[in-house]
Structure 1
Amino acid sequence: MSVMHKVFANLYQDSVSLMQISAQISQLPGIEQASVVMGTATNLAQLRDAGLDNGCQAGPNDLVIAVRGEEAACGAALELAHQRLNSKPAESSGDGTPALQLVSLEMAAEQQADINLALISVPGDYAAAEAIKALHLDMNVMLFSDNVSLAQEKQIKLLAQSKNRLVMGPDCGTAIINGLPLGFANVVKPGAIGIVGASGTGVQEVSCRIDQLGAGISQAIGTGGHDLHEEIGGISMLHGLQALAADPATQVIVLISKPPARPVAERILAQAQACGKPVVVNFLGATAAEIARSGITVASTLADAAELAVALAAGTPAPATVTRLPTADREMLQNASAHLPASRRAIRGVFAGGTFCYESQLLCQQQGFPAASNTPVKGNSQLADIWRSQGHTLIDMGDDDFTRGRPHPMIDPTLRNQRIVAELSDADTAVVLFDLVLGYGAAAEPATELLALLQQNNRESGPLLIAHVCGTEADPQQRSRQIAALRQAGVLVAGCNAEVAMWASLVAHIQAEKNGEKA
């Protein structure tokens, strides 16, 4: 095997573009691993950890392509990446002359005075400075970049607060603003429900579920995962809540987060209660008693949050929770599990979405199946070896443990698919659950490679596969087409992530009963 790299001096590309190029060259025959990153100290360290360093010398403004594989394939991969990086067509100003290339936020503001939102996706070392520049230009900010410290985040958000501007992020992966999907977002119908969420895949799940129910989204505002930390104080969620309360197009508001720091939760819930509109709150893992207030509807799952919001907007009765499985589902799972030997008892989850892993851990735990994880919820155990499952195991493949030097599994599902196949080969596995996340930025055909791998494995006597497809019919990948492909391959497809976890738990109960045990 050869390791090669190429450095492009002073060439910047945003992180999503880099991950997409990395995913494309990773698929080339003869390539074992590939990474396309900016040459920051952190990224260079990750290349070394991944065995892709090869003596690379680069600065933080340089772009690095590193590959490992057969020598000829590595050369071809570097050439393809080079072509992709230089393939953008020249823009025209409309009169045939080349358009002026914008190289700063200041130039953009001068060219178009009504710009009021900056999407920032630069290495974390520079992200805070760019966000502050945008705020001083009176822009709102979506900060896609991660690796921004809590101290820097607080500085940015206090400045935004003083200017009455919104900061989404750092590490804000999803938003829908005035109908425009930003980051990893989905194509949803416009409507009367506004969302403020501290989780990208959480916002995707709720917005897609609302679309599937026939309703629509007014705005979907991301806050970044640390916004509800006590040091930050929920500044972005409070601003987003205030904005939606004042928005005539928004009739119902949904708030999504893992449990906030208690003082932060109290501030958010007090403002929600006083906002004058119905508010649905899903703080994953929090009890109903901790959230309940007049004017606030508590949702126990992401899918329930969508169902309740749609019912409130339509003025219809609240639906039953999605965790209450109908008799038909129970009978279907009993029949599907009939072939499993009693020795197969373990639940194995392989997720691209971190919040899907988190929610599934909570639900399986509530059903009597605590699981090990690389990102365990309270009461679950830390997985000793992230590359090897043991007992019930639910893995977040989008965590840094798996993405150092690699694209996120929503962009390139190769590593995630390999893990699914490994779980199917484990004699202890009864059921494997996983997600497919659609939308902008995600893999063009997320099911294709996995189904090809499944065809190579005899699954007639193997574990059950249960999936959930987070997306809409209007997404580039088309949700119904992905579901049909999965079902044709024998995969059981649930309607939402919570349902997947409940189905998997029921299979584990069935297997325990075969052994004469109560789970």
Structure 2
Amino acid sequence: MQIKHQIFRNRYQDSVSLMQISARISALADIAQASVVMGTPTNQAQLVEAGLACSESAGPNDLIIAVRGSAAACDEALALAATALDSKPASGGESSVVEAAPNNLARAQALHAEANLALISVPGDYAAAEAIKALRLGMHVMLFSDNISLALEKRIKTFAQQQKRLVMGPDCGTAIINGMPLGFANVVKRGAIGVVGASGTGVQEVTCRIDQLGSGISQALGTGGHDLHDDIGGLSMQAGLEALAEDPATQVIVLVSKPPAREVADRILAQAQKAGKPVVVHFLGADPASVARPGITVAHTLAHTAEVAVALERAQAAPAVASALSAQDAQLLNAAAASLAAQRSDIRGVFAGGTFCFEAQLLCQRAGFVAASNTPVKGNSMIADRWQSHGHTLVDMGDDEYTRGRPHPMIDPTLRNQRILAELTDPATAVVLFDVVLGYGAAADPVAELLEVCSKARQQAAAAALPVLVAHVCGTAADPQDRARQITRLRQAGVLVADCNAQAAQWASHVALQQAARRTAGVAGAAQ
């Protein structure tokens, strides 16, 4: 194995483009690891941690390609990355004049006077300054960038509040503005339901489920994961709530977040009561009694949030959350688990979406399963080894510790699929629970490698029964990957595909409960 680098001086590319190039070259044969990043101190530190340290000096405006693999594969990867960086749209004629792209926000606004939103995806060391510049130019801001301190975030959002502008982020990965998906977002129908969320995949689940139920989205506004922290005070959620309350196209408002700080929650809920429109609130893991207010409908899962919003839009009674497993689902799961060895006991969750991991932990916990996780909910424990599972384990593979020097698993699922293979071949695993996230920015064919993993696991297992595989696919029929097609291929490979993340967690819990009952019955029988 060799490590090779190539540095492009003064060559900026946004982080999404770089993650996509990283994913392409990571997929090459004989490449063990690859990363394409800007040479900021933070990124270079992450390369060191990932074992891809660059010996040649590079500055924050320089682009670094780092690869590890066979010598020939490294050369191929560097060449492919360079070609991808240099690729340009095909010309429309024999000769044309291409205007140079604007190199700052002021020039971009001069060329496009109608533009009023800046999407900022530069290294975090510089993103705060660019956000302030955009606000001074009178633009709203979507900050895809992360690694921005709470102090800087508060400064940006306080200034935005003074300017009566909206800031989505930092670390805002998902938004849908006037029908346009931004970041990791899905293709959903336009409609009358507006969403404000502090969770990217949470917003994706809610908006996709609304689309699947036949309704649509007016706007979906992200806030960034730290917005509801005490130090920030929910400034972006309040601004988004105010904007949707004033939007004539929005009839129902949805608020989604992990549990906010108590004072922040009270402030937001008080504002929601004054919206003059039905408001659905889902604070994952919060006591429903602490959220309930006149004029506010409390939802209990991400899928239930969408169901309640659609019902309110149609002037129908809010549906109760589905709690009991249907007889048909129980029969399906029991048949799938019938051949499992009795010692298979554990739920192993492997997620690309952080909120999906969070929700699954909550629901498995309610079913009686305390689990370990790298992002544990209250009552669960921190994993002792991030690469090795013991007992019930639910892991967020999109967390920073797994993405340093690597693309996010929604872009490149290779590392996530390796984890799934390890869980499938562990004799303690009863059920493997995972998500597949579709949409813009996500892998073009996320199921392809997963099917190879399933085939490889079957070969390794020989005659032994594999654990039950349970998945849910977050996406829509209009997404580039086509949700129905992905579901069909998973089912053909023997995967049980649930309608939503909550149902998938419920199914996984049922399998584990059945296995526990079998072991109890076996012990009782042996004692007689």
Is the contact between residue 44 and residue 54 of structure 2 (CA under 8 Å) also seen in structure 1?
no
Matched, 1:390 2:390: yes
What does residue 222 of structure 1 align with? 222
1:56 maps to a residue whose letter is: E
Report SS of the residue matched to 2:108: helix
Alignment match, 1:140: 140
Counterpart contact for 1:166–1:236, Cα < 8 Å = yes
Distance in 2, Cα, partners of 1:295 & 1:95 = 61
Q: Which position in structure 2 is the counterpart of 1:319?
A: 319
2:487 to 462, 472, 483: 483
List runs of 5+ in structure 2 lacking aligned partners: 523-528
- Counterpart residue type for residue 86 of structure 2: N
Aligned to 2:513: 509
Could you state the TM-score of these two structures normalised by the residue count of structure 1? 0.98
Deviation per residue, 1:442-465 (Å, 9 max, x gap): 000000011012112226611000
1:474 maps onto 2:478 in alignment: yes
The alignment partner of 2:506 has SS state of: helix
Instruction: Kindly indicate whether the alpha-carbon contact (under 8 Å) linking 1:205 and 1:470 is maintained by their aligned counterparts in 2.
Output: yes
Give the corresponding residue for 2:331.
331
Aligned 8 A contact 2:144 2:169 in 1: yes
The residue correspondences of 1:96-115 to structure 2 (distance < 5 A) are 96-115=96-115
- 1:292-371 to 2 correspondence within 5 Å? 292-371=292-371
Q: Is contact 1:323–1:499 with CA below 8 Å preserved after alignment?
A: no
Aligned with 2:239: secondary structure?
helix
Amino acid of the structure 1 residue aligned with 2:442: A
Shift of 1:95: 10
Counterpart residue identity of residue 492, structure 1: L
The one of 497, 502, 525 equivalent to 1:498 is 502
- Secondary structure class of the residue paired with 1:51: coil
Distance 2:156 2:221 in 1: 17
Corresponding residue number in structure 2 for 1:74: 74
Residue aligned with 1:395, SS = strand
Post-superposition offset of 1:93:
13
Corresponding residue for residue 404 of structure 1: 404
Supply the distance in 1 between the matched residues of 2:4 and 2:235 (Cα, whole angstroms).
Answer: 45
Counting aligned pairs with the same residue, the percent is 68
In structure 2, give the amino acid aligned to 1:120.
I
SS in 2 for 1:515: helix
Show CA shifts across 1:404-459 (max 9, x none).
10000000000000100100010100000000000000000000011012112226
Q: Which residue of 1 aligns with 2:526?
A: none
Q: Deviations over 1:277-312 (max 9, x none)?
A: 000000000011010001101011100000000000
Structure 1 counterpart SS, 2:348: strand
Aligned to 1:231: 231
Q: Is the 8 A contact 1:323 1:498 kept in 2?
A: no
Q: How does 1:248-259 map to 2 (within 5 A)?
A: 248-259=248-259
User: Which structure 1 segments of 5+ residues have no match?
Assistant: none
- Structure 1 residue aligned with 2:420: 420
Alpha-carbon distance in 2 for matches of 1:511, 1:287: 30
**Counterpart of 2:445 in 1: which secondary structure?**
coil
Shift of 1:80: 0.6
Residues 1:435 and 2:439 are matched in the alignment: no
Shift in Å at residue 98 of structure 1? 1.9
Task: Give, in angstroms, the shift of residue 517 of structure 1.
Answer: 7.2
Q: In the aligned structure 2, how far is the partner of 1:399 from the partner of 1:132?
A: 27
Which residue of the partner structure matches residue 457 of structure 1?
457
Flag the 1:54–1:247 CA change in 2: closer, same or farther, 3 A: closer
CA deviation map 1:349-397 (0-9, x unaligned): 0000000000000111111001100111111000010000010000000
Once the two structures are TM-superposed, the CA of residue 318 in structure 1 deviates from its matched residue by 2.2
Deviation track 1:21-77 (CA, whole Å, cap 9, x = no partner) reads 000001111111100000011111111111111413210110000000000110111
1:4 paired to 2:4: yes
Offset at residue 487 of structure 1 (A)? 0.1
Q: Alpha-carbon deviation of 1:328?
A: 1.2
- Equivalents in 1 of 2:219, 2:373: separation in Å? 33
Q: Mark the CA change 1:14 to 1:112 in structure 2 (over 3 Å): closer, same or farther.
A: same
Give the distance between the partners of 1:110 and 1:71, measured in 2 at CA: 47
- Letter of the structure 2 residue corresponding to residue 235 of structure 1: L
Partners of 2:56 and 2:327 lie apart in 1 by 59
Counterpart position of 1:116: 116
Deviation (angstroms), 1:94: 13
Which letter maps to 1:193? I
Could you say what the CA RMSD is over the residues aligned between the two structures, in angstroms? 1.5
Partner letter of residue 230 of structure 1?
A: D
Q: Return the letter of the residue paired with 1:63.
A: L
CA distance in 2, matches of 1:497, 1:284: 13
Q: Is the 8 A contact 1:22 1:34 kept in 2?
A: yes
- My pick for the range that moved more, 46-55 or 248-257, is 46-55
Q: What TM-score comes out, normalization by structure 2 length?
A: 0.96
Tell me: CA distance 1:93–1:250, structure 2 relative to 1, closer, same or farther (3 Å): farther
Call closer, same or farther: CA 1:174–1:293 in 2, change over 3 Å.
same
Query: In 2, distance between residues paired with 1:71 and 1:45?
Result: 24
Q: Deviations over 1:323-351 (max 9, x none)?
A: 43212111211221111121000000000
Say which SS state the counterpart of residue 25 (structure 2) adopts: helix
Are the counterparts in 2 of residues 92 and 99 from structure 1 also a CA contact under 8 Å? no
Give 1:182's aligned residue: 182
* C-alpha separation in 1, matches of 2:30 and 2:54: 18
Give me the whole-angstrom Cα distance separating, in 1, the residues matched to 2:74 and 2:92: 35
Determine the C-alpha separation between the residues in 2 that align with 1:383 and 1:517: 30
* Partner Cα separation in structure 2 for residue 247 and residue 212 of structure 1: 23
State whether residues 91 and 99 of structure 1, in contact with CA within 8 Å, keep that contact through their aligned partners in structure 2: no
- Tell me the number of residue pairs that the alignment of Structure 1 and Structure 2 aligns: 518
- C-alpha displacement of 1:100: 3.5
Structure 1 match to 2:169:
169
Secondary structure at the aligned position of 1:350 is classed as: strand
Which residue number corresponds to residue 149 of structure 1?
149
Contact residue 280 and residue 298 of structure 2 kept, 8 A: yes
Instruction: Write out per-residue CA displacement over residues 237-275 of structure 1, whole angstroms, 9 at most, x where no aligned residue.
Output: 001001101111111000000000100000100010111
Q: Deviations over 1:77-129 (max 9, x none)?
A: 10110000000237899994222320000001111222110000000000000
Q: Which amino acid aligns with 1:101?
A: A
